[in-house]
Amino acid sequence: MCMRTIEQTTQEILDLATVQFKVPAGSLAADDDFYKKLGIDSLQALEMLSRLENHFRIELPDYEVQGVSDFKTLAQRIQARL
Amino acid sequence: MLDLKKYNSVGEALRDALETWPTEVCLIESDRGEEKQRLTYRNFKDKSQPLAKSLQDLAIGPGDRVAIIMTNQSKWLISAYAICFCGATLVPLDFKLKPEEQWQLLKHSGAKVLITEYGIWRQLCVSPARAAAATLKTVLVTEAPEHAELSGAERWESVKGANPPVFVPQKRQDIACIVYSSGTGGTPKGCMMTHENYLEQCVALTSLYPFWPGVRYLSILPTNHAIDFMVGFFGPFTCGAAVVHLRTLRPEYVREAFPKYEITYVSLVPLVLKNLQKGLQARFDALPDPKRKALDAMRSINRALTKDRPRPWLSRKLLGEVHAGFGGKLEAIIVGGAFTEPQTLQFFYDLGIPVANGYGLTEAGTAVTVNDLKPFRADTVGKPLPGMEVQIRNSDNDGIGEVTVRSKTVMAGYLNEPELTAETIVEGWLRTGDMGRFDSTGHLQLFGRKKNMIVTEEGKNVYAEDVEQAFEGLHVKEFCVFAANFIWSQRAMVNEKLLLVIHLEHGQAFTPELKSEISARNAWLTNYKRVHGLVIYQEDFPLTASLKIKRSELAQRLATLDREQSILPI
């Protein structure tokens, strides 16, 4: 059973991205385009997904996150698998 | 290798390959570091036959189209073979497209059957565009959970025909595949590739980069991409080699696969190659000073000793640790899909890892030129492959003109687009829209594009017109999307970007609300299709009598503006 709310999931994603990409705390928001905000390419985004998989203990197929570029949608995809 | 001159179709050649090397491994599939499947050619044949029979039970045969939307995996290739076996036309679609784009291409292709993965099918089912593909009668899904709701689809794993399927021969000129090179937002460009296109391309490519039983090709580029279909399926299979699939392309698993499976070849797009270079360089930089100096010395020696041609055994001795990281068997990295910067190519060559860079486009049957490494030239895209006639048309004083190609590998045309086909293939010559010239040694050099399009470092073709749909209804007088290099010619194929050009209504201000709307619409686009800048043009766009924008004329007018000052960030 999923114990997290979508808000909690979103916040945990933002916190992990903040640490992984060394951006100032509180500078990321749910609606942010992570490619743009973090200045990352698709490979770096895949690396971020690996960390998120480990953190949430889930498996996210690559195609599930194709076309996803904001933290909010990413959180929804993760939440659906928790 | 099979003598492909003897064959008339992709299916016929594959059928013989399965009989020729029954005990050789043809496919290895790994998921997150764990090997899930290993198939011999005989296993492959056994798995494909029930599907082929099922397709025949559905009356699928010559003239029918069957689409595949799958990630790189064994069932992709098994399904493709079954389709070819039945004499039907394969429509490989990009699993990375949005569901509505996939439905659009399913509709355009007229596919009767779709073979896809359960997860992708779930996304397709919730798309309102589903109703569009009226010709689609059957959907087969792979890997559906036991009690999953299939929304009208059938399980790929459960299909079986009662009797053995009957092989359906094809002629060389029949259409083997319809490969979409672009056009999900505007005119879909479905390249009709004949059996001859594939047979001839395979002969040409393997003459330079041969496969043989024991070779292991790591399939990373999506198999719907013309390059991977050739070097990650048809090429290795007709030579008895093996293909390694990874179910996820996270960098850590890709790195691990090289030594684990002793990979011989891999194809990458420039973005991944650059990332690999970055990672290696960071590791080299972190070495203690004496070790780094020793490595630099070895690289210099290797560079000097491989000046004329690659010497893999020598490079492996000199730079053993680096090569061990790649498994110690890597013959070459094939790079394609987009332009690769010379410094990246040189970086790998100096390490004794040749990068087979070249130039090609789906319409030409993939590769047109490839670097033959005799000697390695980082500053060119190589020489024409055997069987390719390449001419530079309408060249300027510097010898730079449009690259045109004539070959048995050039597509039959664009599906349902006779006018576009006639504009693209003129008197048997494919007009590529790319600008280039030959140097004195016969190597092709590229200098930008004539077309209003970009090719991303991920190898994606994006036509400016196709992106405009996202901005329909924008509150401005008129707008148009351009490739920046189409307006301001750069004589280069790097840093390609799309721009949105807007003309405001009389008295209208460029407000923060309008800027937000543009950003929001841009964000709706898949990331590689997004525009990267905005130009506010102060005059009316030139229009045709039917009120269409005269793009070339508008581009000429925009070219009079200063590039750096005119482009605003989005």
Q: Domains in chain A, start-ordered, CATH in brackets? A: 6-79 (1.10.1200.10)
pLDDT value of residue B96: 84
Q: What is the DSSP string of B512-546?
A: HHHHHHHHHHHHHS-GGG---EEEE--SPPPB-TT
Question: Does the structural domain B458-566 have CATH classification 3.40.640.10?
Answer: no
Residues of chain B with CATH 3.40.50.980: 4-22+35-209
Tell me the chain A residues in contact with residue B250 when contact means C-beta distances shorter than 8 Å. Answer: 46-47, 49-50, 62
Reading across the β-sheet that carries B383-384, which strands appear in turn?
B34-40, B25-31, B242-246, B216-219, B265-268, B332-335, B355-361, B366-370, B383-384
Q: From first to last of its 570 residues, what are the pLDDT tens digits of chain B?
A: 999 999 999 999 999 999 999 999 999 999 988 999 999 999 999 999 999 999 999 999 999 999 999 999 999 999 999 999 999 999 999 988 889 889 999 999 999 999 999 989 998 999 988 877 889 999 999 999 999 999 999 999 999 877 899 999 999 999 999 999 875 566 789 999 999 999 999 999 999 999 999 999 999 988 998 899 999 999 999 999 999 999 888 888 888 999 999 999 999 888 888 888 988 999 999 999 999 999 999 999 999 999 999 999 999 999 999 999 999 999 999 987 788 888 999 999 999 999 988 999 999 998 999 998 888 888 899 999 999 999 999 999 989 999 999 999 999 999 999 999 999 999 999 999 999 999 999 999 998 888 888 988 877 888 888 888 889 889 999 999 999 999 998 877 777 899 999 999 989 999 999 999 999 999 888 878 899 999 999 999 998 877 788 888 999 999 999 999 999 998
* A59 pLDDT more than 90: no
pLDDT value of residue B274: 87
CA distance A77 to A68: 9
b/e code B51-66 from CB counts within 10 Å (16+ = b): bbbbbbebebeeebbb
Query: CB contact, 8 Å: A62 with chain B?
Result: yes
Query: CB contact, 8 Å: A46 with chain B?
Result: yes
Residue type, B477: K
Residues of chain B with CATH 3.30.300.30: 458-566
Query: What 3 state SS string does B37-68 have?
Result: EEEEHHHHHHHHHHHHHHHHHCCCCCCCEEEE
Residue pairs between chains A and B whose CB atoms are closer than 8 Å:
46
Q: Are B484 and B473 in contact (CB under 8 A)?
A: no
Confidence of residue A2 (pLDDT cuts 50, 70, 90): low
Q: Which residue of A38, A44, A51, A62 is the best one to mutate when testing the B interface, meaning the one whose CB has the most B CBs within 10 A?
A: A62
b/e code B258-288 from CB counts within 10 Å (16+ = b): bbebbbbbbbbbbbbbbbbbeebeeeeeeee
CA distance B50 to B165: 8
Nearest residue of A to residue B272 by CA position? A43
Nearest to B231 by CA among B215, B255, B246: B215
Contact A43 B251 (CB under 8 A): yes
Q: What is the DSSP letter of B88?
A: P
Nearest residue of A to residue B530 by CA position? A36
pLDDT value of residue B402: 95
Tell me the chain A residues in contact with residue B275 when contact means C-beta distances shorter than 8 Å. Answer: 41, 43
Residue type, B382: G
Q: How far is B102 from chain A (nearest CA, A)?
A: 13
Question: Does the structural domain B4-22+35-209 have CATH classification 3.40.1260.10?
Answer: no
Fold of B363-450: Luciferase; domain 3 (2.30.38)
Residues of chain B with CATH 2.30.38.10: 363-450
pLDDT value of residue B183: 56
Write out the two tokens for B308.
Answer: 């004329």
Nearest residue of A to residue B529 by CA position? A67
Contact B248 A43 (CB under 8 A): no
pLDDT value of residue B523: 85
Q: Are B84 and B10 in contact (CB under 8 A)?
A: yes
pLDDT value of residue B477: 92
pLDDT value of residue B184: 57
Complex ipTM value: 0.77
Residue with structure tokens 């003109």? B401
Tell me the chain B residues in contact with residue A69 when contact means C-beta distances shorter than 8 Å. Answer: 523, 527
pLDDT value of residue B338: 80
Query: CB contact, 8 Å: A70 with chain B?
Result: yes
Q: How far is A24 from chain B (nearest CA, A)?
A: 22
Tell me the chain A residues in contact with residue B71 when contact means C-beta distances shorter than 8 Å. Answer: 61-63
Query: CB contact, 8 Å: B561 with chain A?
Result: no
pLDDT value of residue B196: 98
What does pTM read for this prediction?
Answer: 0.87
Contact B275 A43 (CB under 8 A): yes
Provide the angle, in degrees to the nearest 10, between the axes of the packed helices B74-85 and B41-57.
Answer: 60
Averaged over A56-73, what is the pLDDT? Answer: 84
Contact A63 B248 (CB under 8 A): no
